[in-house]
Amino acid sequence: MATRARYKRRRSQNRAGIIWASFVVLILVTVVSIKSVGLMKKAKDYETKEAALQQQIEQEMARSEEIAEFERYTQTRKYIEDTAREKLGLVYPGEIIFKNEDK
Protein backbone atom coordinates (compact mmCIF):
# COMPACT_ATOMS: atom_id res chain seq x y z
CA MET A 1 0.00 0.00 0.00
CA ALA A 2 2.85 2.32 0.73
CA THR A 3 4.04 1.94 -2.81
CA ARG A 4 0.63 2.97 -4.15
CA ALA A 5 0.58 6.06 -2.00
CA ARG A 6 4.10 6.95 -3.15
CA TYR A 7 3.09 6.34 -6.76
CA LYS A 8 0.03 8.62 -6.43
CA ARG A 9 2.10 11.32 -4.73
CA ARG A 10 4.76 11.19 -7.48
CA ARG A 11 2.10 11.26 -10.15
CA SER A 12 0.42 14.34 -8.63
CA GLN A 13 3.82 16.04 -8.30
CA ASN A 14 4.56 15.26 -11.93
CA ARG A 15 1.20 16.76 -12.99
CA ALA A 16 1.88 19.89 -10.96
CA GLY A 17 5.33 20.17 -12.56
CA ILE A 18 3.88 19.72 -16.04
CA ILE A 19 1.20 22.33 -15.35
CA TRP A 20 3.80 24.81 -14.10
CA ALA A 21 6.07 24.13 -17.05
CA SER A 22 3.13 24.58 -19.46
CA PHE A 23 2.21 27.84 -17.74
CA VAL A 24 5.78 29.14 -18.02
CA VAL A 25 5.97 28.13 -21.70
CA LEU A 26 2.63 29.83 -22.36
CA ILE A 27 3.88 33.05 -20.75
CA LEU A 28 7.10 32.90 -22.77
CA VAL A 29 5.19 32.37 -26.01
CA THR A 30 2.92 35.31 -25.20
CA VAL A 31 5.85 37.62 -24.41
CA VAL A 32 7.71 36.58 -27.56
CA SER A 33 4.58 37.13 -29.67
CA ILE A 34 4.03 40.61 -28.26
CA LYS A 35 7.67 41.55 -28.79
CA SER A 36 7.67 40.19 -32.35
CA VAL A 37 4.66 42.36 -33.23
CA GLY A 38 6.54 45.41 -31.95
CA LEU A 39 9.63 44.43 -33.91
CA MET A 40 7.60 43.93 -37.07
CA LYS A 41 6.11 47.40 -36.67
CA LYS A 42 9.58 48.86 -36.13
CA ALA A 43 10.90 47.03 -39.22
CA LYS A 44 8.06 48.48 -41.30
CA ASP A 45 8.87 51.97 -40.02
CA TYR A 46 12.53 51.47 -40.95
CA GLU A 47 11.54 50.32 -44.44
CA THR A 48 9.46 53.48 -44.86
CA LYS A 49 12.37 55.63 -43.68
CA GLU A 50 14.73 53.78 -46.01
CA ALA A 51 12.44 54.43 -48.99
CA ALA A 52 12.20 58.13 -48.10
CA LEU A 53 15.96 58.40 -47.72
CA GLN A 54 16.51 56.59 -51.02
CA GLN A 55 14.21 59.07 -52.75
CA GLN A 56 16.09 61.93 -51.11
CA ILE A 57 19.40 60.47 -52.34
CA GLU A 58 18.02 60.32 -55.89
CA GLN A 59 16.87 63.95 -55.66
CA GLU A 60 20.26 65.06 -54.39
CA MET A 61 22.02 63.14 -57.17
CA ALA A 62 19.83 64.91 -59.75
CA ARG A 63 20.55 68.25 -58.10
CA SER A 64 24.27 67.47 -58.13
CA GLU A 65 24.05 66.72 -61.85
CA GLU A 66 22.26 70.04 -62.44
CA ILE A 67 24.97 71.88 -60.53
CA ALA A 68 27.71 70.13 -62.53
CA GLU A 69 25.90 71.03 -65.77
CA PHE A 70 25.58 74.65 -64.68
CA GLU A 71 29.27 74.71 -63.78
CA ARG A 72 30.15 73.49 -67.28
CA TYR A 73 27.81 76.12 -68.77
CA THR A 74 29.42 78.94 -66.77
CA GLN A 75 32.77 78.09 -68.36
CA THR A 76 31.48 78.58 -71.91
CA ARG A 77 31.65 81.64 -74.11
CA LYS A 78 27.85 81.71 -74.46
CA TYR A 79 27.44 82.19 -70.69
CA ILE A 80 29.88 85.09 -70.74
CA GLU A 81 28.01 86.71 -73.63
CA ASP A 82 24.60 86.20 -72.01
CA THR A 83 25.81 87.65 -68.72
CA ALA A 84 27.38 90.65 -70.45
CA ARG A 85 24.13 91.33 -72.34
CA GLU A 86 21.84 90.97 -69.31
CA LYS A 87 23.82 92.62 -66.56
CA LEU A 88 26.06 95.08 -68.36
CA GLY A 89 23.98 95.77 -71.46
CA LEU A 90 26.93 95.12 -73.76
CA VAL A 91 26.46 94.27 -77.43
CA TYR A 92 28.68 93.46 -80.38
CA PRO A 93 29.67 96.40 -82.59
CA GLY A 94 27.12 96.88 -85.36
CA GLU A 95 24.50 94.74 -83.59
CA ILE A 96 20.96 96.14 -83.62
CA ILE A 97 18.82 95.74 -80.50
CA PHE A 98 15.06 96.08 -80.53
CA LYS A 99 13.30 97.09 -77.30
CA ASN A 100 9.61 97.29 -76.50
CA GLU A 101 8.28 100.71 -75.64
CA ASP A 102 5.57 99.20 -73.42
CA LYS A 103 7.92 98.74 -70.51
Q: How far apart are CA 1 and CA 7, in angstroms?
A: 10
pLDDT of 53 over the 90 cut: yes
Residue 14 is assigned to a structural domain of this protein: yes
Residue 37 is assigned to a structural domain of this protein: yes
Residue 93 is assigned to a structural domain of this protein: no
pLDDT of 103 over the 70 cut: no
* Contact partners, residue 73, CB within 8 Å, separation at least 6: 79
Q: What's the total number of domains in the chain?
A: 1
Domain interval for residue 13: 2-88
Residue 101 is assigned to a structural domain of this protein: no
pLDDT at 5: 65
Residue 16 is assigned to a structural domain of this protein: yes
Residue 79 is assigned to a structural domain of this protein: yes
Q: How far apart are CA 76 and CA 62, in angstroms?
A: 22
